[in-house]
Amino acid sequence: MKKLLERLQLSSEFLLFIIFFTFLDSIKSRIGPGQVINLYTFTPESVITAIPNFLIIVLLLRYSYLKIHGNQFPLQRKKALLSFLLGLIGWILISNAFSLFIALAFGNFERNFMGEVVFLSNFTRVLDFMIYGGFYFAFLLFRKFQEHQKKLADYDQAMSELTIYQLKQQLNPHFLFNNLNVLDQLIEENPAVASEFLHEFSEIYRYALEKSDSHLVPLKEELAFSLNYFRLLSRKFGAGYKLEVPNEIPDFWIPPLTLQVLIENAVFHNQGSESQPISISIQVNEKIAVWNQLKPYKHKKHSGGRGLKNLIKQYRLLSKETLEIVKTNDSFTVELPLIKEKVI
């Protein structure tokens, strides 16, 4: 039975629906003016005869549908109607042939094949085919639609994963080259600090490599990494920049290197000094807000912008919301939507 249902693309739930519908329809036909409601009203013998008829109708429709329409989607109206009509003709021929065999076997040909009886019998068969065939056709199209939607969802997810992977491939070199530039300057200015910077950077870059294949990481983990990265930058810029982070960190997710990119932007695009340090603040409320004072260099030192654009694309793929940028005369804020569970 299970193999038959699979071959006809039927589900056990749909078959139970047909049985229940047939049972209710038989009860309805037995209830009317002048009729007595008794135990016979609810006997299910009509279901026993209706189910084989339903399976034959389904078999005919399945064959005609595949023969004419195939597995094409979306539905082509003319081919679908033609397959439905072909199935109906097959049902009329088969059911009449079976009735003829029964009539000849029991000697009831003259009684069962009178003009009015044949007309009413075939009219009933057409109605049965329209009802049960219509149910099956609707169910079949619904299944096709589900399969089509799943293929679209799988394709969208595959494209999202590919796009995110490509973005990660861009972000890691961006992270590497920026820090190599810092190292290059430190080698000229202070070789001892450059050596310490190189050692710490190797530890931090290991995190970047390990998380390059992850779409999301815990916010606590990313914040700890960002603090280590900021301490690394402080070897180059001293007390020119200050970072404030929240004491309590909720259990949310974030794309790896997100906070690092925003801290890096704040440091590399704003001129801080020990006398007038640039403040950077990370806050977590309804969103993750990364705020920094705005004091751009008089002569632009970095073209930049790739890291932030990269993050915007990632959030479009990972979240229904996107990040927001709020810029005033003296501050720059990036607001990141909270991702409460790991996706993709």
Q: Which of 8, 17, 19 is nearest to 143 (CA)?
A: 8
Assess whether pLDDT exceeds 80 at residue 126: yes
Residue of 320, 164, 193 lying closest to 256 (CA atoms): 164
Q: Give the model confidence (pLDDT) of 316-331 as tens digits.
A: 777 777 889 999 999 9
The pLDDT of residue 277: 94
Is the model's pLDDT at 9 over the cut of 70? no
Q: Do the beta carbons of residue 99 and residue 122 sit within 8 Å?
A: no
Residue pLDDT, tens place only, 187-232: 877 787 788 778 777 777 788 778 767 778 899 999 998 898 898 8
Query: What average pLDDT is seen over the chain?
Result: 80
Calculate mean pLDDT across residues 73-88: 79
Highest mean pLDDT among 28-32, 284-288, 330-334: 330-334
Note the pTM of the prediction, 2 decimals: 0.51
Q: What is the mean pLDDT of residues 292-310?
A: 75
Q: What pLDDT is stored for residue 162 in this prediction?
A: 47
Residue 277: partners with Cβ closer than 8 Å, 6 or more residues away: 239, 240, 241, 242
Has residue 166 got a pLDDT over 60?
Answer: no
What per-residue confidence (pLDDT) applies to 206?
81
